[in-house]
């Protein structure tokens, strides 16, 4: 069982390490075009670009920052298709005074 945990941890860490950092200059034209449609505010900047393989395609994971704080993560395929776009939660871990308990839904009880 310990070996299984060790193998899983190794795989998870190695996947993160194998993500290739990429510069903006090396982005394919379709990816640049899609990225420009995402950057609507002049205060938005690209904070980081990484690539990874997804089947036969290369996907570009682009972190977008607003006023120096990362707030959006976009995954764009090498064809320019927007695969995924997610907001980045507050990385500081501070409670912003929100109480989302009223939004929570109860988990169903397991049936025995």
Taking only the tens place, the pLDDT of each residue in 38-58 is 998 888 999 999 999 999 999
pLDDT digits (tens, 9 = 90+) for 93-107: 554 555 555 555 555
Query: What pLDDT does residue 5 have?
Result: 47
Query: What pLDDT does residue 20 have?
Result: 53
pLDDT digits (tens, 9 = 90+) for 57-90: 999 999 999 988 999 999 999 999 999 999 998 6
Provide mean pLDDT across the span 26-39.
93
Coarse DSSP helix, strand, coil percentages of the chain, rounded to the nearest 5 percent: 30, 35, 35
Please state whether the predicted TM-score (pTM) of the whole model is above 0.75: no
Confidence label for 26 from pLDDT (cuts 50, 70 and 90):
confident
Rounded Cα gap, residues 22 and 8, in angstroms: 27
Mean pLDDT (the chain, rounded): 76
Query: What pLDDT does residue 23 have?
Result: 65
Rounded Cα gap, residues 12 and 70, in angstroms: 23
Rounded Cα gap, residues 73 and 68, in angstroms: 14
Structural domains in the chain plus CATH codes = 19-90 (3.10.450.360)
């Amino acid at each position: 069982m310990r070996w299984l945990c060790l193998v899983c941890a190794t795989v998870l860490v190695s996947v993160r390490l194998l993500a290739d950092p990429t510069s903006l200059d090396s982005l394919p034209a379709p990816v640049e075009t899609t990225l420009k449609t995402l950057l609507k505010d002049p205060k938005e900047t690209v904070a980081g670009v990484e690539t990874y393989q997804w089947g036969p395609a290369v996907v570009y994971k682009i972190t977008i920052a607003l006023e120096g704080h990362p707030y959006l993560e976009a995954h764009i395929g090498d064809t320019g298709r927007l695969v995924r776009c997610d907001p980045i939660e507050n990385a500081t871990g501070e409670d912003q005074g929100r109480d989302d308990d009223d939004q929570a839904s109860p988990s169903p009880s397991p049936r025995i």
